[in-house]
Structure 1
Amino acid sequence: MIENIIWLALGLLVIASLIPLHNKIKLPLAGVSWLFFSIHWMFQWQHYYELEDYVNLFLTIFAAVFSIFIGYILIKKDRRLFGKINGIDTLTSISMMTTAVAISGISYFLFSEIPSMNSWIISTVTDQTVWTGSILGITITRLDWNLIAVNGYKVEIILACTAIESIALFIGIIASVNAPIKRLASAFIISVPVIYGLNLIRNVFVVDAYGMMWFGDPDMSFYIAHTVIAKIGSLIALFLVAYAVLKILPEIIDMIDGILNLVGGIFKNDG
């Protein structure tokens, strides 16, 4: 039952996104969608706690709380909050965010929840990691559909190694923007293919550093390469990609401003 909550939430988010902006059922339906979305995230924290992945643990808790908050705002349907605040239309902003979450969610959960899609993307990234290694002069042996090795040291490619989370996020945000197709295409090209390519290089770096013991023993080499260097590098790369996308699509900044103005308006009214 819990596994199906995410599909119910995404389905409702898609429907809410398709409803015209000023239709009276749009806001409450979107609110219910966000509440169902929050239920999914409420059940994810334990997984990351067991993995001792405290960054994603925090993000899942934040996602659950934020989704409840947005759901409450939309169901409350206080029309004083939905209009132009500081020149930004908050109704348009929250509609864009709902669309972005719907598209991002579908783009990600298709691969995380459907076994055949999950196997396909992992196998594809595994194959292309080996190919990228050969281009860079690094011999990577493919042992199985999701298993590679350097110098006999094996690394399993999992969904997190495909960069699908970041790719899905940018696809959703870009698709939610009402802008000329040329700018949308430019934003897509500067983000999705770049993230995918950099992720392949990241995979090659991690497996080679691990197998060739760049930083001491294998375990320490894997930790430094994967958890320290690759993670910092990924954050820097995502920041630069996000900056480039925002330059191309400043409408995204308006959306963010609109959400912040909406939240600020709530606390102002409550005060």
Structure 2
Amino acid sequence: MKELGIINSLLINRFTANGAYLALHDGGEVLLPKSYLKGEEKAGEELEVFIYTDSEDRPVAVTNRPIALLDEFAVMEAKEITKFGAFVDWGLPKDLFVPKAEMGKNMEVGGKYLVRVCRDFRTDRLIGVSKYEDFLIKDTQGFEAGQQVEALVFDETELGFKVLIENNFEGLLYKNEVFENIEIGDKINVFIKKRRDDGKLDLQLLPIGRVKYEEGAEKILEVLKVRKFLPLHDKSSPESIKELLGMSKKHFKQSIGQLYKAKKILIKSDGIELV
């Protein structure tokens, strides 16, 4: 069934006590259960539905959309672990099954993992695969230093946060360069720092070069407009600066240097204030 795992626009063929039967492109039909009908639909009307298999492996249509379609990745929470695999939440009544053989690492209930929706051609049903590296593209020549991209945070290591870019590329945000709260499953905007020889991308949260200091300076100005005075200066601890402004000490010093040269702030022995 070519409609499996994707969003389809299908016509209503007929109604029964169980719901509406929609016409498939091969001449067959698929049931849209009654619970997904508003009661206003008519035969011949076109509906947008997602098709997957129910608990008895029968094709079924639903009007809600999972967090990932066929051949897409998403961060999913493990709901149940069995000796055969794990069931993860992908936003539908029936959880997505990740076979043990397709797990990148052992899953735990409540844990969040990067999972790709795939088609098992032996059983003709949708399954999850957490061996994400098998699907990644190593050629990152299409990216340039300084380019802004959207990233999906999917793992945390001692080095930093692993992210997925454009459903195909892996990147890393180094922990010592992150000065804000990031959670697994967050979608964030990042900037390409450099392309690595192994095909992965080093990333950072702020634009590279002079722009990043201008952004930091703007942030300090916005805080000063509200608080008028900040008890931060060259001798302040990195922890104090991070707590109040969410930036590194180096970033802070370069930003207040710009503001001071622009005569926007006064730097005193106990802190900084607006001119």
Pairwise TM-score range, normalised by the shorter structure = under 0.3
TM-score, normalised to structure 2, is 0.24
- Structure with greater helix share of residues: 1
Larger Rg: 2
TM-score, normalised to structure 1, is 0.24
Between the two structures, name the one with larger relative contact order (CA 8 Å, sep ≥ 6): 1
